[in-house]
Chain A
């Protein structure tokens, strides 16, 4: 149990998926200018990450390892994620239109979001247990959503700030990220 809590907190805060692991930076710097869309994007990513982590864990342990084809993991994992995203998108579109409108538009972007493939690889490399593969994406997703939401709030106000011309936009966003990352490194002492 302690182990699982450590994984959760580690993924969400200490080794934050964006600020420490550097995964999912494109949405972090790209689309995060509105708080609402940042939260929806975060939820969509968490959802896909959770399903992808469990699926790839099962595939790894019941197909790749028994058949001794572990070297195929990159191809298999990315295809599984791409397929999952397609299925989830179709499923949500047919069953729950409100949900689809909320975060369906972000789904196609998620296939190439390195946070999703990244978390499945972390689970593989760190040899997490099955429960670990359930908890890790929840923690990672929470950390992702949290930082994305913080960033969007800051950037909304940043639009009005009088930054030097060359610093406007992306460079100043990186400087904000420096401050966020410094703040998050304070969580390091938690476990």
Chain B
């Protein structure tokens, strides 16, 4: 259980996939315009990453090294398609707002990197722990970025139609730049610097 916990924990902060390793930047920047999107994307990545890690760890001893990448891609793409169809059937609005970034999970570096680096070399249980840790780290990063962008950019916080609060001045005059592309780059850049700064402090 100790190993399981360790594999899980490392993905959260120390090697946070987005803010420390800078993986999977495209979806992170594009879909963090709202918390709904961030949660939807996390769900897709959760299923695809845990699914692909389990399958790849299970078949890791049969796959010849030259066939690794094509087989991984087929497995990942199939899982993404399943999620694409499930979202279309059950969460049509979320499916529309994630747009091309749902199918683009196929080329998300986080997933292929975990398949290559971890799942193809480790037993199933460890691979699942690793996948879960990475997903939670991914979710933390997405939630941080999307809540900052949503609060500053729209002046209010609402998740799936539930309104939590509307700020007094910002609610009327939101800083739209935070919802727009420049805001995405700004927030993620500052958060990365924050994570580094914490790291710098510890190492010195």
Contact = CB atoms under 8 A, between A and B. Distances in A.
Are A and B close enough to touch in the complex, i.e. CB under 8 Å? Answer: yes
Interface stretch (A15-23, A99-107, A134-142): A15-23
B29 interface: yes
Interface string B107-130: 111001000000000000000000
Contacts of A97: none
A171 B29 contact: no
A166 B181 contact: no
A178 B180 CA distance: 10
Most buried by A among B81, B85, B108, B112: B81
Given A82-B73, A112-B109, A182 B182 contact: yes
Judged by DSSP, the binding face of B is helix
Chain B interface: which size bin? 35 or more
Judged by DSSP, the binding face of A is helix
Contacts, number: 116
A175 interface: yes
Contacts of A125: 99-100
Interface of B: 22, 25-27, 29-30, 69-70, 73-74, 77-78, 80-81, 84-85, 99-100, 103-104, 106-109, 112, 177, 180-182, 184-186, 188-190, 192-194, 196-197, 200
Nearest to A174: B189
B190 A171 contact: yes
Interface string A156-178: 00000000111100111111011
Given A114-B107, A181-B181, A181-B182, A74 B100 contact: no
Interface stretch (A33-41, A42-50, A59-67, A115-123): A115-123
Interface residues of A, number: 43
B44 to A, nearest CB: 12
Interface of A: 19-26, 29, 71-75, 77-79, 82, 111-114, 117-118, 121-122, 125, 164-167, 170-175, 177-179, 181-182, 185
Contacts of B81: 71-75
Contacts of A175: 185-186, 189
B107 A178 contact: no
B112 A79 contact: no
A117 B194 CA distance: 32
A177 to B, nearest CB: 4
Given A125-B99, A170-B192, A117 B185 contact: no
Nearest to B85: A71
Nearest to B74: A75
Nearest to A116: B107
B77 to A, nearest CB: 4
A125 B97 CA distance: 12
B36 to A, nearest CB: 18
A182 B99 CA distance: 23
A170 B109 contact: no
Contacts of A164: 193
6 contacts: A26-B109, A71-B81, A74-B81, A79-B73, A112-B112, A174-B189
Contacts of B73: 78-79, 82
Contacts of B109: 26, 112
A25 B29 contact: yes
Contacts of A179: 182
Most buried by A among B70, B103, B112, B185: B185
A75 B29 contact: no
A74 B77 contact: yes
Given A79-B73, A178-B186, A121 B104 contact: yes
Contact of A167 (B100, B177, B180, B193): B193
Contacts of B26: 22-26, 114, 118
